[in-house]
Structure 1
Amino acid sequence: MRRIAIAAGAAVVLAVGITAVAHAAAPQLTATFGQTSTWSTGYGAQYVIRNTGDAPSTSWRVEFDLPAGSTVSSSWSSVRTVSGQHYTFTNAAYNGDVAPGASEDFGFNVSGLGTPVNCTVDGRPCAGGGSPSPSPSRSSSASPSASPSPSASTSAPPAGPVVDVSTAAQLQGALAAARPGQTIRLAAGTYRGSFVTTAAGTAAQRITLTGPASAILVNDGPSGTAPSCPAPTTGWDSGYGLWLYNAPYWNLTGFTVADSKKGVVADNSHHTTIDGVHVHDVEEEAVHFRRSSADSVIRNSRIERTGLVQAGYGEGVYIGSAGSNWGCHGNSGGADRSDRVQVIGNHIGPGVAAEAIDVKEGTFNGVIRGNTFDGQGISGANSADSWVDVKGIGYVIEDNTGTFRSPGTFANGYETHNPGTTPSFGNGCGSVWRGNRSDLGGAGDYAVNVTSTSKCSGNPNVVYASNTVTNAVRGLTNIAVTP
C-alpha cells in the first residue's frame, strides 16, 4: 500500500507537469485583411496582425496568393518577396515585436481587382486555427467592393496608405496621426473646425491631403487666448483654414478653403506643394509661407476675395514675414528665410484686397511665373496698390498677365521696396522681369516701378524689353530697359 501511495503522488506530479506544458505562454497571431481605398483598376489594402496569445511575438510572416491578373505593385512597413502569384511579407526592422493584445500592420497596393486567398501567418491560417485552406475561396474576377467610393481615384493608385475622411472629426484625427507616405483623401462636403498638423513627411515619402473642389475646409474661429507668437496651443483656435506647423513635405491638392481668418498657413514647413487649391472669402491673406517654409510651391490654384475684415492684410500669396515680425518668425539666423518659393500658373483676383503676391524682405531666389493677376478690388490699404510687391532678393518674375479695372486703388503693376533689416540682405534688389503683359487700366503709372536704384547699385533690378504694357499713365518702367 505504501508503494501505491508513492505512485499516486508521482502521478499527481506528472499531471501538474503536463498541465504546465499545455499552458506555456506563447504568441498567437492572426492577420486580418482590409481594403483602404479602391479605384477602377485596383485597390489599396492592409493586413492588421494581432497577438491574441499571452507572450510577445518577435517576428511575423504573412503569405497569400493573388488570382491571375492581379499583382502587388507596391508595399510598405514590410519586406516583400514573390514567387509567381504567391506573396510573402515579413516584418520590417521596427514592427516585428507584437505584445499580447497589441497589433501591427503593413500595407500594399494591388494592380487588378483580385483579393488574397490562402492567407497564413507564421504558417497557420490568418483567421486562427489549425491548417490553411487547401483551395482558393474567391474568384479571380471578383471585385473588391460593389462599387468604388465616390471619392476614389479612377487612375493610378496612391503612393502609400490611404485614409478616406468624410467628417471634420475624421479629418482632425487623420491630420494628427499622419505619417510619411500617407494620403488623406477628402470626400465632397463642408468640413468645419480647426485643421492643423504637426506631422512631417520626408523627401522620399511626402504626405498628401487631397480632395475635390467640393471638399471645403471652413474655420469659424479664432477663439480663446492666443500665445505671444502663433503656435498650436490648447484652448486657442487660430482661425486658419489649414495650418501646417513644423510639417514639411506635404502635398495639398484639389480642395477648397473658405470663410476663415486666413486660408492656408505653412510655418516652418519647407517643401510644401499646393496644387489646384481654391481659396476664397477669407478675412486676411489666402496663402502664407512663413517661418522659413522654403522650397515650397503654389501652382494651378485660384484665389479670390481676401482681406474681407483687414483689407491691408488680404494678400493672395504672402512669402516670408515683415522684418518687424522676425521676433516670432525669424527662425533662420534671426530672419524668416522662406527662400526659393515658386508661384506658378495661378489665377489671383478679383477681390484680393492687398497685393496678389507680397514678397517680404530677407527672402531669396523665388520664381513668379505664368500667373494671371486680376487687380479689381485692390484696396490701397497699408500701401497695397500693386499686383506684386518685391522686397526680397533675386526673384524671377516672368510670363505673367496682369490687368486692372475699377473699383480699386492702383499705383503700379509691380513694385520694389528696400526696407532695412538686421541682418541686412540688400532687400528689394537683384530681381528680373521679362515677358510680362500688363494692362494698367489707365490708372497705374508703370508696369514695373523700381523704388531705388542707388540702394541696389551692386545688385540691380533688371526690366527686359520683352515686357509689354498697355493703358499705363507713364509707361513700362521708371528705369532703363534692358534689351
Structure 2
Amino acid sequence: MRRTLLAGLLPFLLTSPPGAAVGEVGEVVDVSTAAQLVSALAGAAPGQTIRLAPGEYHGVFVAQRPGTAAAPITLTGPANAVLVNDGPSGVAPSCPAPGGGWDSGYGLWLYAAPYWRLTGFTVKDSKKGVVLDASAHVVIDGVYVHHVEDEGVHFRRSSSDGVLRNSRVAYTGLVQPGYGEGVYLGSAGSNWGCHGNTGGVDRSDRVQVTGNTIGPYVAAEHIDVKEGTSGGLISGNTFDGTGVSGQNSADSWVDVKGSRYTIENNTGTFAPPGTFANGYETHNPATTPSLLNGCGNVWRGNRSDLGGVGAYAIKITSTSKCVADPNVVHSSNTVTGATRGLTNVPVTPG
C-alpha cells in the first residue's frame, strides 16, 4: 500500500463530482490487494483518497470512519477494480452491524460513515451491492453494481442527503428475486425496529438518484422508495424492465411509498421476459399518524414504453389517503404501449 501526498492536486479537484464538498489537500492511499483495502478502510481519515488499482478484491469491505463536509473521504478506482464479497458467513445479529465474526456478504458497507465519495469502481458477486447505514451525505458516482443476490444499492438507517448518479445497476435478485431492487431508499416500516434510528423512522430523506442506467434483469423494482422517506429526486434515469420478476409485488420500475419526491425526465421501457403491471406506482402503507406515506409526489417529463403489457405509465393508488397532499401527474409525461393509458388520475398541465 503506497501513500503519497496530494501535491499538485488540481486535476483531481477539477474532476470531483459536482456539488460534492472538496476537502483539504490530503493523502492518497494506493491499494492493490484485498488486505490493503481492508487496512485502508479501517484507517481512513477526512480528506483522504483510497485509490484502487485494477483487479478483483475478494473480502469483507466495511467503512466505519466518517469524513466531514469540508473533507470527505474518497474511495475511487477504474471500472476494472472490482469488489467481491464471497460471504455471508457466521451468525448474524438480530440487527445488521459489523463485527462479532459475522460477514454480511455486502460488497461494500458504509456503517456510520458519512461524507464519503465512491467513484468509478465495480461491485459484483455479493449478497448485496453497496449498503449505506447511518451514512449521510454520501456521493456514489460512476459505480457499476451487477450480479448480486439481493438489492444493488441501499440507502438505509437514515442515510439522508445522499447522491447516486451516473452509475449502472443490473442483474440483481439472483437468489431472492422479490428482494432484488436496483436502488432501495429507506426501509419498510416492519424493519424500523432495526433501521429506524431517527424517531423510530428510517429517514433516508432527500436522496438524489440521477442519470443512472438501471436494468436489465433487475428482478424487483428498479427504485423502491420506502415509507417514511421524503423529499428525494429521481431524475434522468434509464430503466430497462426486462427481467422484472413479479415476485413480492415487484412489477414496476419505481414504487413510491415515500412522500414529496420529484420524479422527472426518466425513460423507461419494458420487453419480455418479465412481469409488468405499471411503469410507476404509489402505495400508502400505514405507519405513524403523522406520516402521509405515498403522497405529495410529482411526475413530469417522463417517457414510458410499457411494451403493450403494462396498464398505466403512472398509477396512483388510494387517492383518498392523500387529499391533504395529493400526488401530481403533469401532462409533460408521455406513454406508448400502454393497455390503459398515461395515468388513472386527472392530469395537471405542464
1:266 and 1:154 map into 2 onto residues whose CA distance is 25
Report the Cα distance in structure 2 between the residues aligned to 1:434 and 1:443, rounded to whole angstroms.
Answer: 22
Quote the residue 2:170 is aligned against. 304
- Provide the residue aligned with 1:362 in structure 2: 228
The separation in 1 between residues aligned to 2:130 and 2:166, in whole angstroms, is: 15
Q: Which residue of 1 aligns with 2:323?
A: 457
Deviation at 1:154, TM superposition (A): 12
User: Is 1:265 the equivalent of 2:131?
Assistant: yes
Counterpart of 1:394, as a letter, is R
Q: Distance in 1 between matches of 2:8 and 2:90?
A: 46
Q: 1:479 to 1:220 in 2, by over 3 A?
A: same
Q: Tell me, yes or no, if structure 1 residue 402 matches structure 2 residue 268.
A: yes
CA distance in 1, matches of 2:163, 2:344: 31
> What letter corresponds to residue 7 of structure 2 in structure 1?
N
Relative distance call for 1:423 and 1:244 in structure 2 (3 A) is: farther
Say yes or no: does 1:109 pair with 2:7.
yes
Matches within 5 A, 1:199-218: 199-218=65-84
- For residue 271 of structure 1, report the CA deviation from its aligned partner: 0.3
1:143 maps to what in 2? none
User: How far does residue 233 in structure 1 lie from its aligned partner after superposition?
Assistant: 1.8
Partner SS for 2:255: strand
Structure 1: how far apart are the matches of 2:296 and 2:182? 23
Alignment of 1:80-159 (within 5 A): 109-110=7-8, 159=25
Do structure 1's residue 289 and structure 2's residue 162 form an aligned pair? no
Which one of the candidate residues 240, 248, 253 is aligned to 2:106? 240
| Residue matched to 2:19 | none
What is the aligned-residue RMSD (CA, Å)?
A: 1.7
- Indicate which of 251, 258, 266 corresponds to 1:392: 258
User: Contact 2:157 / 2:203 at 8 angstroms: preserved in 1?
Assistant: yes
Q: Which runs of 4+ in 1 moved over 2 A?
A: 152-159
Q: How far, CA to CA, are the matches of 2:167 and 2:270 in structure 1? A: 20
Give, in angstroms, the shift of residue 160 of structure 1: 1.8
* Structure 1 position 153, deviation (Å): 7.0
Q: Does 1:347 align with 2:213?
A: yes
Alignment of 1:23-102 (within 5 A): 36-37=3-4, 44=5
Structure 1 counterpart of 2:99, one-letter code: T
Looking at structure 2, the residues matched to 451 and 164 of structure 1 have their Cα atoms a distance apart, in angstroms, of: 51
Name 1:324's counterpart in structure 2: 190
Corresponding residue SS for 2:268: strand
- 1:119 alignment counterpart: none
The residue aligned with 1:373 is: 239
Higher relative contact order, chain-length normalized (CA < 8 Å, sep 6+): 2
**Superimposed CA distance per residue, residues 28-72 of structure 1 (whole angstroms, 9 cap, x where no aligned partner):** xxxxxxx834xxxxxx3xxxxxxxxxxxxxxxxxxxxxxxxxxxx
Match of 1:253 in 2: 119
Deviation at 1:422, TM superposition (A): 2.5
Q: Which runs of 5+ in 2 are unaligned?
A: 17-23
The AA in structure 1 aligned to 2:138 is T
> Could you tell me whether the CA contact under 8 Å between 2:172 and 2:217 is conserved in 1?
yes
Residue deviations 1:61-93 (CA, integer Å, cap 9, x gap):
xxxxxxxxxxxxxxxxxxxxxxxxxxxxxxxxx
Count of matched residue positions in the alignment of Structure 1 and Structure 2: 341
Residue 407 of structure 1, CA deviation: 0.3
Q: How high is the TM-score relative to the length of structure 1?
A: 0.69
Aligned to 2:33: 167
In structure 2, what is the Cα distance between the partners aligned to 1:426 and 1:258? 36
Percent identity, aligned pairs only?
A: 72
Q: Which consecutive residues of structure 1, in runs of 5 or more, have no partner in the other structure?
A: 1-34, 38-43, 45-107, 113-151
- Give the corresponding residue for 2:21: none
Against the structure 1 CA distance between its residues 463 and 178, is the aligned structure 2 distance closer, same or farther, given a 3 Å change threshold?
A: same
Residue number among 327, 334, 338 corresponding to 1:468 in the alignment: 334
Structure 2 residue matching 1:171: 3-state secondary structure:
helix
Select which of 299, 303, 313 maps to 2:179: 313
- Separation in 1 of the partners of 2:171 and 2:281? 22
Shift of residue 110 of structure 1? 3.8
Provide the secondary structure at the position in 2 that maps to 1:289.
Answer: strand
Q: Work out the CA distance in 2 between the residues paired with 1:111 and 1:407.
A: 48
Counterpart contact for 1:370–1:401, Cα < 8 Å: yes
TM-score by length of 2: 0.95
- On the 8 A contact 2:9/2:25 being kept in 1, the answer is no
- From 9, 28, 42, the equivalent of 1:176 is 42
